[in-house]
Structure formats: C-alpha cells, structure tokens
Amino acid sequence: MWIWNLLSLTFVQLRRHPVRSMLTLLGVIAGMFLFVTIEIMQNSLRRSTEISAEDATLVVYRQNRFCPFASRLPQSYEQKIAKIPGVREVYPIQIVVNNCSTSLDVVTFRGIPKNKMDSFQKNFTLLSGSIDSWKQRSDAALVGRILAERRRIKVGDKLDAAGITVSVAGIIESDNLQNLNVGYLHLDYLQQASRVGLGIVTQFNVLVDRPEQMESIAHAIDDTFRYDQDPTSTRPEKAFIAQAIEEVALLIQSGRHVGWAALITVFALVSNTILLSIRGRVREYAVLQTLGYENIHLLWMVVLEGMMLGMLGGLVGLLGSASLVYFGHFTLSADALSVVFTVEPKTLAIGLVTSLLLGFLAGLVPTWCVTHQNIVDNLRAE
C-alpha cells in the first residue's frame, strides 16, 4: 500500500518541479523516439529478409542480373519449371519499376497472368475492390495498402507511374511486406505497356510442395537452364530480397548503433537528473529517514521518479515514432524490392519496457549512495 502513496508523492514532486521534469522528459522523448524508430526499421528489415520454416517460395532470376530492367527470361520456362518434381505452382512475373535505385517512393508494378490470379490471391487479402473487376479490365491493378496510402489512391482511381497508367481495382493487405508496396497488373498488359514485349518476364516465383525441398528444387531449376541462352539463378524469396536490398539493409543495420547511442543518452540523462535532484535533496532524504523512512522506501521513491520519467518520456517518444511510421507510409526500395516500415505492438512494448528499465536502473546507484550516508551528516548538508 505504501508504494502507491510513494508513487503519488513522487508524481506530486515531479509536477511541482515543472522545468526540471519537462527538460528531462524532452530528452527522454527524443532518445526513445530515435530508439523506437530504429527498432521499427530493424524489425521491418528482419520481417522482410529472415527466412522462416514456412517459407516455400523460390525466385528464379536471370543469372548475373540484379536489376529488374536487366533480368529477362523467356516466359516459356514456366512449363519446364512446372514439370520439376516438388513444384506446386509457377508464376511468371514481369516487373516494372519507376526508379531502379534506392528511393523512398518507389512504385513497383508486377504483372502476373490473369489465369493465375485465383491461386495467387492466397498471398493477400482484399481490403476493398474485387478480383473480378481486376479480371474484367486489362489495365486494372491490385494495389498494396502502403502504396495506396502513400499515393492517396482508392478503388476506381488512376495510378500513373513508370509511364504506365492503370486503374485501381482493389487495395490489398498482406503478411508478405513486399506485397504492400506493389501494384499487381495483368502480365500481358504490363509487357506491352512497358515495351518489354510479350513472352518475356523478369522472374518466376515458384511455390514448392515442401519447404525442405527448396534447395534441391532451386538446383534442379538452375540445372535445367544451365546451357540455355538465358541461364537462371534460383534462391528462396527472402534470400533473394536480402541480396537485392543488401545496401539498404546495411544502412538500416548501421542505424542500430545510433539506437544504442540514443538509449545510452536516455540513461545518462535520467541518471544525471536523478543524481542532481538527490544531491540537492540530501537533507530532505535525511529528514525522511528521521521520520522513519527505511532504505526500501527511499529506494522506491528515487526509482519511481526515474521510472515515471522513463515511462512518460518513453510513451510519448514511441507514440511519436509509431505515428510517424504509420502515417508516413515509408518504404525504402532497391531493385524493385522494398523494406516496408510497419509498426508492430511488440516493438512498442519493447520500447516501453526499455524506457521503464532505464528509469529503474538510473535510480539505483544514487539511492544506494544516499541510503548509506550518515543521517546526522546529511541533516547538516547545505
């Protein structure tokens, strides 16, 4: 029960030192904003590139080509790949992108055959529009949620990118983050509109029966076309993404150090505030000890102060960061593949727990100091 009383007392003390509390809070907010933003970027990268046991999609690309403009494969490979044992489905895909380099606003069009859409739509859920209207219009597009929000488009609108104009037939949501930043078009329409020509695709997405067969099937596909005019390079989809966005990934991963630096800054700031506050209140703590406050009471008073500053600052910082990412609809793309930044509750929870923990730790050492000093000496302190 006393802990609630001390919590209330600590809150009153913070409220009645508004300048000190606000300045510390501002520092914590800035630090936690930075830390959580970087955590969101790291997690989004992880979700885009980490291979899980359930992944069963291979990407067949033109060997020694790394950009969708350069990868050209005959669409006729589809039949040969489909015959390889263990292959469940083959999707020939043409990719057109409005910007092949690293960019924050890349629009990627993916063309898939109209007759494959019924099986392909298992990869996403429709938020609005319909598959039928996509099938009925040759220039129709199913647009990923993030792309739609970033470009502020809805069903029935026109989307113009990379010199191609499409009509939005549906908005899609997907666990596969790549699907959130693309527009799915009819393959033949995209081939013609992009002047690539019919019969040529950028890649094949190959769905296998069992994930453990991925490696052997990849070898089998590459062996099949080894001596063809257009040899292939086949990898699991996530590995393919990881390689394609390697430089983007390096950029994001290097941000981890900035995140840690932000955490250290928050820790140092809260510690310093508490330390200065305690130094200024040595006599106050001695008075409380005289009144019967035990070490545990003083420990909680100081620690609660740190935790409140950490929690309040952390909460505002992470809400700011989450809002920025959520409403900013940021994606970082390279070679037509994107890291789509999405906010996960887990990341926010980690941010909040981290800020609470930092506040807790920041109060420990100063409390130990104050509780192990002589009361009589501290009562005489200026």
Partner 1 sequence: MKSQSSPIIISCRNLTKSYYKGDTVVTPLENLDLDLEKGRFLALMGPSGSGKTTLLNIIAGIDSPTSGSITINNQEISRMSRSQLTRWRGKSIGYIFQLYHLIPVLTAYENVELPLLIQKISRSEREKRVLNVLELVGLEDRMSHFPRQLSGGQEQRVAIARALVTDPMILVADEPTGDLDAASAQNILSLLRQLGHDLHKTIVMVTHDVKAASYADLTLHLEKGKLIESSPL
Q: Which residues bind partner 1 (CB under 8 A)?
A: 1-2, 5-6, 9, 12-13, 16-17, 283-284, 287-295, 297, 375-376, 379
111 close to 244: Cβ distance less than 8 angstroms: no
Nearest distance from C-beta of residue 107 to partner 1, angstroms:
57
Q: How far is CA 173 from CA 127, 143, 149, 166, 323, in A?
A: 6, 9, 12, 19, 19
Nearest distance from C-beta of residue 281 to partner 1, angstroms:
8
**With respect to partner 1, which residue has the nearer C-beta, 186 or 297?**
297
Nearest distance from C-beta of residue 246 to partner 1, angstroms:
55
**With respect to partner 1, which residue has the nearer C-beta, 17 or 116?**
17
Nearest distance from C-beta of residue 313 to partner 1, angstroms:
20
Nearest distance from C-beta of residue 378 to partner 1, angstroms:
10
**With respect to partner 1, which residue has the nearer C-beta, 59 or 304?**
304
**With respect to partner 1, which residue has the nearer C-beta, 1 or 53?**
1
**With respect to partner 1, which residue has the nearer C-beta, 3 or 353?**
3
Nearest distance from C-beta of residue 278 to partner 1, angstroms:
14
Nearest distance from C-beta of residue 362 to partner 1, angstroms:
21
**With respect to partner 1, which residue has the nearer C-beta, 17 or 151?**
17
**With respect to partner 1, which residue has the nearer C-beta, 189 or 293?**
293
